[in-house]
Amino acid sequence: MKILILGGKGFFGSSIMAQALLKNITVYGTSRTISNSINIIKTDVSNKTSLLSLLDKSVPDVIIWALMSDKNEIELVNNGLLNLLSLIKKETKLIFMSTDAIFTSHLL
């Protein structure tokens, strides 16, 4: 099984990545910035070409959305999530996890 964690350097995503690696699961994470980790791939989910390249490289069975943008959460979901949904295969499972809506009053 291959897992792709969007937001793999964040608090939530990095915790999931660590647990997956402990269980010897193939796992990749994403970040907006370059990382020294071979498991972290620089990706902009709002850029469809960048996202397609990531999916082609990682070929995940499961994608976990653990992204958060406290200032642009609605834009992130509207652009990034719609891009993702248009590109993933039917057999790929998507798990959407976000704590941002709980802590961000402008979304309520």
Measured CA distances, 90 to 5, 86, 103 (Å) = 18, 10, 32
Q: Which tens digit of pLDDT belongs to each residue from 9-20?
A: 988 899 999 999
**pLDDT for residue 108:** 47
For all residues of the chain together, what is the average pLDDT? 88
User: Which residues are registered as beta bridge partners of 31?
Assistant: 42
Q: Is residue 75 very low, low, confident or very high in pLDDT (cuts 50, 70, 90)?
A: confident
- pLDDT per position as a tens digit, 17-36: 999 999 999 999 999 888 88
Model confidence band, residue 101 (pLDDT cutoffs 50, 70, 90):
low
